[in-house]
A and B are shown apart, each in its own frame.
Chain A
Amino acid sequence: MNSPLLRVKDLTIDIPVGGGTLNAVRGIDFDLNRGETLCIVGESGSGKSLTSLALMGLLGGRIKRTATQMEFDGIDLTKANNKTMRALRGDRMAMIFQEPMTSLNPAFTIGNQLMEALLLHRNVGKEAARARAIELLEKVGITAAESRLSQYPHQLSGGLRQRVMIAMALMCEPELIIADEPTTALDVTIQAQILRLLVDLGREMNMAMILITHDLGVVARVADKVAVMYAGELVETGSAEQVFNAPMHPYTRGLLRCIPQPGKTERGARLGTIPGIVPNLVGGVTGCPFRTRCDQAVAACRDAIPHRKPAENHRFRCVHETGHQIAETAV
């Protein structure tokens, strides 16, 4: 427990586009211990999914990833070759994707796809892999598990398919599981079930989890740590209590104003919104990316933004020491 399972320092992702380079993710730092759940929140296009794909080494050839440090249990992921990454993927780190409808191969049975990772990474026979697949299908709450093995994805509903995806990710008992908006594509009624299932299984197997979501209600319930992303930067990180009870960054505060809170939000009152749109990230981003939408913005927001550390493990980036504009810094 001394050294974290995953340590990321200064992760940057650049995507070459027609008119130059899209600085999609810039200078991401975070640590994740075994058994911990980190929630990455932020709006669409803030770089959450790219960050998770970068950890898995699944970005694709054109996209450039750099980091001063990216370590998984002592393995330097920045220097890892394809073979090392392949050995990690699906075995020690697994991923669950957003779209259960398209994330399963239509041409192969559920059983085939479930057993694939186990047969690949572990020296087990078909029978053992089959037994493990049935065990996990039961674990994720699928009835008649044995008969499901010979079914094809198109015969299952979206909720069932996401359960299969979860079972598939758990086949090798990974130490880290990355779930990229695992419930976004599902019915609201099933979202809570699937999420609870995922979190409970994570706890049971003592897995570290990175949960990417833009549902703050979910975050409040399951997160140990929260990382708030905005336009490719981590604007605030901290424990769930720190971020929810003492949000520092104006963007975090704005996000929290957008959700109703029991006891705090009056009945009939209007929820907050954050006006404006995310800035264009092509060709060099300087200063605070949030300044164009921030109600605390001052001239200094155009310059380099300091990292602030109001408490142990709680960090945010803002020109204002407390995230609030005070008289002296106003222009």
Chain B
Amino acid sequence: MLNFILKRLGLAVLVAFTVSFISFSLMFLSGDPAAALAGETASDQDVEAIRVLYGFDRPMLVQYWDWLSSALVGDLGESYYFKLPVASLIAERLQVTMMLGLCGISFALLTAVPLGVAAAIRPNSIIDRIALFLSVAGQAMPSFWFGLILIVVFSIQFGILPPSGTSTWRHFIMPTIVLGYYAMPAIMRLTRAGMLEVLSSDYIRTARAKGASEFTVLFKHALRNAIIPVVSLAAVQMGFMLGGSIVVESIFALHGAGYLAWESIARNDLPTVQALILVFSLFYIVFTFLSDVLNAWLDPRMRAG
């Protein structure tokens, strides 16, 4: 097991470096950063001056090395627009995003897994139908629309929840529901399908033949096997929630990292965009690593890999 973890860790680090290089290169493929910074009305001299000032005239590899070596010690440069160190800017915004992401994935898992299990125990029952309805609705409804409906109902009509901001935990209720409900259908369906398959397997019959209670059969023997693909999916969803919750953050005016990404892209704030891409991809790498480890713990057959 330790061997497996170390191997995966090494792999994760390699992936992180590769991703950092690719994301750095991509920023240069999208156009001349000096021209973009200088603006449409700038003269050629101004553009040249900016190019030299920000070091864009140097070879790309040198710039990458420069950026990487300072990034490794926590210096991600200074935002062109906010005029603040990117690292502290992101750190501040990440608090909101991480809070939202953790709440969102928890909400998704806590609703999807029990619902999926219940649906699988009695396929085609009323619970199964309700679960199916909820998942179809969740998949069909765009987040921005669902978010606005919640605001109309709970903030404007009943006035029980604040429509925007981040100051109290009550501000996070609606964003959590919107973000979690977006991830819920896929997790629910995967749990249901996994449970259905596992419950008809021979080893479940073996467990019943031993006289195990229905609870033990479901939650010891079945769920542990059925949850394995769900773990991988949840890791990807979690990465998505931390990096791509721009829509939800804008609707509820939560100034998180997703919102920051949108702002910096719109303003050609290169260091911030680069740093955000790095941070978001690191999230994916970390969650993939964690889900690999969790899966190996759940399924001993994976430990060899």
Which A residues are in CB contact (< 8 Å) with B202? 97, 99, 102-103
- Tell me how far the C-beta of B152 lies from the nearest C-beta in chain A, rounded to whole angstroms: 44
Which B residues are in CB contact (< 8 Å) with A85? 211
Say yes or no: A94 contacts B209, CB within 8 Å: yes
Say yes or no for B262: interface residue by CB 8 A criterion: no
Q: How far is the CA of A152 from the CA of B300 in the complex (A)?
A: 7
Say yes or no: A105 contacts B209, CB within 8 Å: no
Say yes or no: B211 contacts A105, CB within 8 Å: no
Say yes or no for A90: interface residue by CB 8 A criterion: yes
Say yes or no: A89 contacts B210, CB within 8 Å: yes
Q: Which of B208, B224, B225 has the most CB of A within 10 A?
A: B208
| Chain A minimum-CB-distance residue to B210 | A90
Which B residues are in CB contact (< 8 Å) with A82? 214
| Chain A minimum-CB-distance residue to B225 | A107
Say yes or no for A205: interface residue by CB 8 A criterion: no
Say yes or no: B206 contacts A103, CB within 8 Å: yes
Which B residues are in CB contact (< 8 Å) with A88? 211
Residue count of chain A within 8 Å CB distance of chain B: 30
Say yes or no: B301 contacts A103, CB within 8 Å: no
CB 8 Å contact bits of A199-222 with B (1 = contact, 0 = none):
000000000000000000000000
Say yes or no: A105 contacts B221, CB within 8 Å: yes
Interface residues on B, range: 20 to 34
Q: How far is the CA of A88 from the CA of B214 in the complex (A)?
A: 15
Which B residues are in CB contact (< 8 Å) with A168? 206, 210
Say yes or no for A196: interface residue by CB 8 A criterion: no
Q: How far is the CA of A121 from the CA of B208 in the complex (A)?
A: 13
Q: How far is the CA of A104 from the CA of B221 in the complex (A)?
A: 10
Tell me whether A116 and B212 are in contact in the complex, defined as CB-CB below 8 angstroms, given that A58-B205, A97-B206, A104-B206 are known contacts. yes
CB 8 Å contact bits of B208-226 with A (1 = contact, 0 = none):
1111111000000100110
Say yes or no for B145: interface residue by CB 8 A criterion: no
Looking at the complex, which one of A90, A97, A106 makes contact with B225 (CB distance below 8 Å)?
A106
Say yes or no: A90 contacts B211, CB within 8 Å: yes
Say yes or no for A41: interface residue by CB 8 A criterion: no
Say yes or no: B210 contacts A103, CB within 8 Å: no
Q: How far is the CA of A106 from the CA of B300 in the complex (A)?
A: 7
CB 8 Å contact bits of A136-154 with B (1 = contact, 0 = none):
0000000000000000101
Q: How far is the CA of A90 from the CA of B217 in the complex (A)?
A: 14
Q: How far is the CA of A279 from the CA of B203 in the complex (A)?
A: 32
Say yes or no: B210 contacts A116, CB within 8 Å: yes
Q: How far is the CA of A200 from the CA of B5 in the complex (A)?
A: 46
Say yes or no: B203 contacts A106, CB within 8 Å: yes
Q: How far is the CA of A120 from the CA of B220 in the complex (A)?
A: 14
- Tell me how far the C-beta of A156 lies from the nearest C-beta in chain B, rounded to whole angstroms: 12
Looking at the complex, which one of A91, A99, A107, A165 makes contact with B211 (CB distance below 8 Å)?
A91
Say yes or no for A231: interface residue by CB 8 A criterion: no
- Considering only residues 73-92 of chain A, those with a C-beta below 8 Å from chain B are 82, 85-91
Which A residues are in CB contact (< 8 Å) with B221? 105, 108
- Tell me how far the C-beta of A294 lies from the nearest C-beta in chain B, rounded to whole angstroms: 35
Say yes or no: B299 contacts A107, CB within 8 Å: yes
- Tell me how far the C-beta of B223 lies from the nearest C-beta in chain A, rounded to whole angstroms: 10
Which B residues are in CB contact (< 8 Å) with A103? 202-203, 205-206
Q: Which of B202, B211, B212 has the most CB of A within 10 A?
A: B211
| Chain B minimum-CB-distance residue to A118 | B210
Which A residues are in CB contact (< 8 Å) with B298? 107
Say yes or no: B203 contacts A105, CB within 8 Å: yes
Looking at the complex, which one of B201, B209, B212, B225 makes contact with A56 (CB distance below 8 Å)?
B209
Q: How far is the CA of A126 from the CA of B225 in the complex (A)?
A: 24
| Chain A minimum-CB-distance residue to B206 | A103
Say yes or no: B203 contacts A89, CB within 8 Å: no
Looking at the complex, which one of B209, B225, B300 makes contact with A89 (CB distance below 8 Å)?
B209
Looking at the complex, which one of B205, B213, B299, B301 makes contact with A97 (CB distance below 8 Å)?
B205
Say yes or no: A105 contacts B207, CB within 8 Å: yes
Q: How far is the CA of A89 from the CA of B208 in the complex (A)?
A: 8
Say yes or no for A95: interface residue by CB 8 A criterion: yes
Tell me whether A107 and B209 are in contact in the complex, defined as CB-CB below 8 angstroms, given that A97-B202, A99-B202 are known contacts. no
Which A residues are in CB contact (< 8 Å) with B214? 82
Which B residues are in CB contact (< 8 Å) with A94? 209-210
CB 8 Å contact bits of A102-124 with B (1 = contact, 0 = none):
11111111000000110011000
Q: Which of A82, A95, A107 has the most CB of B within 10 A?
A: A107
A-B CB proximity, top 9 nearest = A90-B210, A90-B211, A89-B211, A102-B202, A117-B210, A152-B300, A105-B203, A95-B209, A103-B202
Residues of chain B whose beta carbon lies under 8 Å from any beta carbon of chain A: 201-203, 205-214, 221, 224-225, 298-301
What would 15 more interface pairs be, CB under 8 Å, given A90-B209, A91-B211, A107-B298?
A86-B213, A89-B211, A90-B211, A94-B210, A97-B209, A102-B201, A105-B203, A105-B206, A105-B207, A108-B221, A117-B210, A120-B210, A120-B211, A152-B300, A152-B301
Can you pick out 16 interface pairs between chain A and chain B where the beta carbons lie within 8 Å of each other?
A58-B205, A90-B212, A91-B211, A94-B209, A95-B209, A103-B205, A103-B206, A105-B203, A105-B225, A106-B301, A107-B298, A116-B212, A120-B212, A121-B211, A152-B301, A168-B210
